[in-house]
Structure 1
Amino acid sequence: MTNTTPPRHALSEEERRFFREQGYLIRKILDDASVARYVAAVEDARRERGETQQRMSNLQFLQPGKAIRGVQDIICNEDILAVCRDLLGEGIIIDGASLFYGDAGVDYRQGWHRDVLQVPDEQIDTRWFSDDYHYNYVQMNMPLTVDGCLWIVPGSHRRQLDEEERAIFGSSEKIAPVDAPELTAGKQIVVQPGEAVFYNNYAVHRGWGGVLKDRRITIHLGFHSTQHAPTLHFGVLDHTEYSLDYLSSLEPCVRDALRAHLVERARHPEVNVFHAYHQQFLKQEFKTT
């Protein structure tokens, strides 16, 4: 008789159930010293580049030319990867890495939406928004400052738009106008520095801070599992920029993570069309005010 060791979980069964049903979960990831280290790396990079944007910036920090070297190793954080394994399965692959930065006084408002903005309307399958659909992706926001900009409608990833949501979305499955009425079930997720909110980005959600009272610095990541077929968000990173010279310049764990991404991308050429849509989308300014 073969003895088997039960898997070691980062999350309890209650937490995993909560994520499946509600579409989000908050976990403490970084200690104060790590938060301070990442904040310093962000500020050093901004000073070197002379960045003074008067809007919320969305920097793809794993891409050459936009890299923030002192932040990149966050994709190797074992506590983050352990949570993702519990939510998705083994073989976790990085597939999305942005830094949201906005100074106090920036006006930051998005409309309620699902993350299918880059997909042509005729290719959106409403079965994606159902309890039966296996969505092999998880997004994570981890602030380095107190962040209350993520709002979500719990459980909305498992169903079609309800009557109140349809009234503001109109005929679109993508996004409601910025000035649309509030949603009764909309919940503000306030996250402390070093905490992370993991969420299903097919849930109805938005980024909304109004006129920021304080600076916002938030790391945003996306992950995929090799155990399941990719969904349309696999292919967010621009793998075409990952030359041998660039990869060799990275810290070993970051280099290994991006190489694993390249291997997984090669296994799934069917996502190339969604990759192209997403890169085109990134070149446009996401209107937020």
Structure 2
Amino acid sequence: MTQLTPQHTLLSDAERASFREHGYLIRKLLDDASIGRYVAAVEEARRERGDVQRMSNLQFLQPGKAIRGIQDIICNEEILAVCRDLLGDNIIVDGASLFYGEAGVDYRQGWHRDVLQVPDEQIDLSWFSEDYHYNYVQMNMPLTTDGCLWIVPGSHRRQLDAQERAVFGNTEKMAPVDAPELSNGKQILLQPGEAVFYNNYAVHRGWGGVLKDKRITIHMGFHSAQYPPTLHFGVLDHTEYSLDYLSSLAPCVREALRAHLVERARHPEVNVFHAYHQQFLKQEFKTT
């Protein structure tokens, strides 16, 4: 996929160092025309489906749930360039969701690390350390103003501190929604077209309270084929990508998903985590 367009870098050494230290990075990547096109595509897809849900999390690369008008964002060269700067060459898309929420929706999650789908006995505390090479990055790209991501900077590089442990209790996964605030928690306020790239092992949450305005945010995950996968690779449900479905897609989207399939075939060891994640999607955070 990344060979289709000339590769270039976007980030300075200081920006890459800041990402490693703090666990997140913000970049303006979409222009107003692209934002408008994607918003229109989302609203058109909802009308065509007769979707009246006030809040949904739609896996927009999956057959039956596809939003064709936004799929080409996975081919956006600026996004891929940032991911290469953070992870390495040969970026593979892995994870693509659309978060949609009407004004007035109450949106609250507890503080967590993204190991929610992993059985407790398989969580390795070395994952949360300076030495661990986590070959994955998540990205939120809002099409409307979005302040729903909160993060504890630097928490991906260490185990839970005393205040975090008090709210998490005896789990590494998730604190109760009504747990006390974390004094080091930082709200990431994004304008339309700004993207936040973040290490999802950092302590973070989605929290908007009662939304004052509509929320439309594209969420994606990326992996570098230059390095072995870590447990988050395998989010997309590759089992649904039939030849007929792939042939129906725009060329760049088709090639991106083919690259994903090739990488999945190279790493059958992630199948167990893929199964955990699919089970998690159905049971923990309901999706449509």
TM-score range, shorter chain: over 0.9
Q: Give a deviation string over 1:72-91, Cα, whole Å, max 9, x none.
A: 00000000000000000001
Q: Secondary structure at the match of 2:9?
A: coil
Residue in 2 that maps onto 1:41: 41
**What does 1:221-260 correspond to in 2, within 5 Å?**
221-260=220-259
Partner of 1:30 in structure 2?
Answer: 30
RMSD across aligned C-alpha pairs, in angstroms? 1.0
**Structure 1: gaps of 5 or more residues:** 1-6
Distance in 2 (CA, whole Å) between partners of 1:185 and 1:235 is: 31
Deviations 1:253-287 (Å, cap 9, x if unpaired)?
00000000000000000000000000001112428
Q: Distance in 2 between matches of 1:27 and 1:187?
A: 17
Distance apart, 1:249 and its partner CA = 0.1
- CA–CA distance in 1 between the matches of 2:53 and 2:116? 24
Deviations 1:87-120 (A, max 9, x none): 0000100000000000000000000000000000
User: In structure 2, what is the equivalent of residue 18 of structure 1?
Assistant: 18
Correspondence 1:106-185 to 2 at 5 A: 106-185=105-184
SS in 2 for 1:70: helix
Q: Aligned to 2:100, what secondary structure does the other structure show?
A: strand
Letter in 1 for 2:12: S
Aligned amino acid, residue 154 of structure 2: G
Among the aligned pairs, what percent are the same residue?
Answer: 85
Task: Return the alpha-carbon distance in structure 2 between the equivalents of residues 100 and 286 of structure 1.
Answer: 12
Cα distance in 2 for partners of 1:201, 1:58 equals 18
What is the letter of the counterpart of residue 94 of structure 2? Answer: D
Q: Is the 8 A contact 2:57 2:98 kept in 1?
A: yes
How many residue pairs were aligned? Answer: 280
The SS at the match of 1:193 is coil
Structure 1 match to 2:3? none
Cα deviation, residue 48, structure 1: 0.8
Quick one: which amino acid aligns to residue 20 of structure 1? R
Aligned to 1:4: none
Map of 2:53 onto structure 1: 53
CA deviations 1:204-225 (Å, max 9, x no partner) are 0000000000000000000000
Aligned AA (1:110): Q
Return the TM-score normalized by structure 1.
Answer: 0.96
Q: What does 1:62-73 correspond to in 2, within 5 Å?
A: 62-73=61-72
